[in-house]
Amino acid sequence: MNLLEWLNLLLTDYTLRTVALGAATLGVTSGALGTFAMLRRQSLLGDAMSHAALPGVIIAFMLTGSKSPEVLMGGAAVAGILGTLTLIVITRYSRIKEDSALGIVLSVFFGFGLMLLTFLQRNPDARQAGLSTFLFGQAATLLERDVWVMGIFGGGALLLMLIFWKEFKLLSFDRDFGASLGLPMVMLDVLLTTLLVVAIVIGLQAVGVVLMSAMVVAPAAAARQWTNRLGLMALLAAIFGAMSGVGGAMISSTGEGLSTGPVVVLVASGIVIVSLFLAPNRGLVWSAWRRQKNRRQLRVETVLYDMYRLAQQHDDWDYPHEVAVLQAMNLNQGGVRNSLRKLAERGLVTEKGNGLWSLTQSGWEQAMNLFKKGGSA
């Protein structure tokens, strides 16, 4: 299938369109809100929240017998918030550290959810079928109604994020300053955390509780590499989130027997890897190239410095020197000829034939400017 056919299918095929829209919604929401989570070092909080949501989904179903998205998402959100509160209580009222508290909340809530799920599954009642897709997610099970609910909740969360943008920015970067301005930082903290829960909850049906946390971390981590500006970062994270959501959901709905969660996570991870390597300024390739450039620059300047010192000793800037001398001064680190050629290109040295090199007038002047303060190269 080529791109055009894909696009055509996307617009005409009901299932595919629903899946793509749902995945895009969850990607945009979790990407944008994940930005704040990552900057506030709460990347693993998402992990705990999404695992903690499982018993909420099951209990909501047990209480109402309904599998409509707003009921299940509501249950998940309540459980996610309860999990977060438990985490706060544990770290606040005991000496247990955050990492252990995260582990406890994550595993105990999840274990409890599994217990309830298996309890339901062994009762002869077919209505619970499909609840286990919440483990790894199944985008293909999304209905148009589900996507509407996701869109409303996700859109609401994003809207609130935009309304309180400045406050959330302050909360993330300088909480104390915010408090000194008289802003209700605790309330803002609660609000932002709740929005994060919403972002996670709307993705559960498509991506699953086990891997939803990656949708909070990965797009934000990728976006962080490309920019230092919060607004741009959130925008990029939303785009990356949507790309992974749509890409992953499409791939999994064409392949047989593939849960959506793992595929979405792999697409997101791919975006992270590309960003880590290729992003300008911060990226690994970029910084390796810059380091290389600095090293070369340093080598060239060392040679210029050595020529300058020799010229000083001879009291004659035009005095020609053997390459071998320069190489010896350079402690045989190599690259001297190369550096001389570079300097010659810049018109700072000239070759006086036969492996003899001397400074030019401008080379002498530039070297004086660079080194006359007695600094060493």
Contact segment (CB under 8 A) with another protein among 164-172, 193-201, 255-263, 320-328 equals: 255-263
Q: How far is the CB of 93 from another protein (least distance, A)?
A: 5
Count the Cβ atoms, other than its own, within 10 Å of residue 281. Answer: 11
Q: How far is the CB of 156 from another protein (least distance, A)?
A: 25
Q: How far is the CB of 188 from another protein (least distance, A)?
A: 21
CB of 259 within 8 A of CB of 136?
A: yes
Count the Cβ atoms, other than its own, within 10 Å of residue 117. Answer: 20
What are the CA-CA distances from residue 51 to residues 29, 42, 67, 227, 231 (Å)? 18, 15, 19, 31, 29
C-beta of 76 vs 343, nearer to another protein: 76
Please tell me the count of residues contacting another protein according to CB under 8 A: 63
Q: Does the protein bind another protein through residue 113 (CB under 8 A)?
A: yes
255/78 Cα distance (integer angstroms): 34
What are the CA-CA distances from residue 43 to residues 34, 213, 287 (Å)? 8, 8, 25
Q: How far is the CB of 226 from another protein (least distance, A)?
A: 11
Q: Does the protein bind another protein through residue 370 (CB under 8 A)?
A: no
Contact segment (CB under 8 A) with another protein among 6-14, 116-124, 196-204, 320-328 equals: 116-124
Q: Does the protein bind another protein through residue 236 (CB under 8 A)?
A: no
Contact segment (CB under 8 A) with another protein among 191-199, 226-234, 256-264, 354-362 equals: 256-264
Instruction: Indicate the SS3 state at residue 352.
Output: coil
In the shown chain, the binding pattern of residues 82 to 101 toward another protein, with x for contact by CB under 8 A and - for none, equals: --------x--xxxxx-xxx
Q: Which residues of 73-103 are buried (b: 16+ CB within 10 A; e: fewer)?
A: bbbbbbbbbbbbebbbebbeeeeeebeebbe
Q: Does the protein bind another protein through residue 257 (CB under 8 A)?
A: yes
Q: How far is the CB of 253 from another protein (least distance, A)?
A: 14
C-beta of 142 vs 220, nearer to another protein: 220
Q: Does the protein bind another protein through residue 172 (CB under 8 A)?
A: no
What are the CA-CA distances from residue 92 to residues 49, 53, 106, 283 (Å)? 18, 22, 17, 38
Q: How far is the CB of 265 from another protein (least distance, A)?
A: 4
In the shown chain, the binding pattern of residues 270 to 309 toward another protein, with x for contact by CB under 8 A and - for none, equals: --x---x-----x-x-------------------------
181, burial (CB in 10 Å: exposed 0-12, middle 13-18, buried 19+) = exposed
Phi-psi region of 335 (alpha: psi -120 to 50; beta: other; left: phi over 0): left
Q: Does the protein bind another protein through residue 41 (CB under 8 A)?
A: yes
C-beta of 94 vs 361, nearer to another protein: 94
C-beta of 96 vs 152, nearer to another protein: 96
Q: Does the protein bind another protein through residue 373 (CB under 8 A)?
A: no
The H or E element spanning position 250 is helix 230-254
Contact with another protein (CB under 8 A): which of 33, 149, 217, 238?
217
Phi-psi region of 137 (alpha: psi -120 to 50; beta: other; left: phi over 0): left
Quickly list H helices, 175-211: 175-180, 185-207
336-342 long-range contacts (CB < 8 A, ≥24 apart) are 336/303, 338/299, 339/299, 339/300, 339/302, 339/303, 340/303, 342/296, 342/300
Count the Cβ atoms, other than its own, within 10 Å of residue 62. Answer: 15
Contact with another protein (CB under 8 A): which of 266, 274, 356, 370?
266
Q: Could you tell me how many residues make up the chain?
A: 377
Contact with another protein (CB under 8 A): which of 71, 88, 108, 325?
108
Residues at the interface with another protein (CB under 8 A): 38, 41-44, 46-47, 51, 90, 93-97, 99-104, 106-119, 122, 132, 135-136, 210-211, 213-214, 216-218, 220-221, 224-225, 255, 257-259, 261-263, 265-266, 269, 272, 276, 282, 284
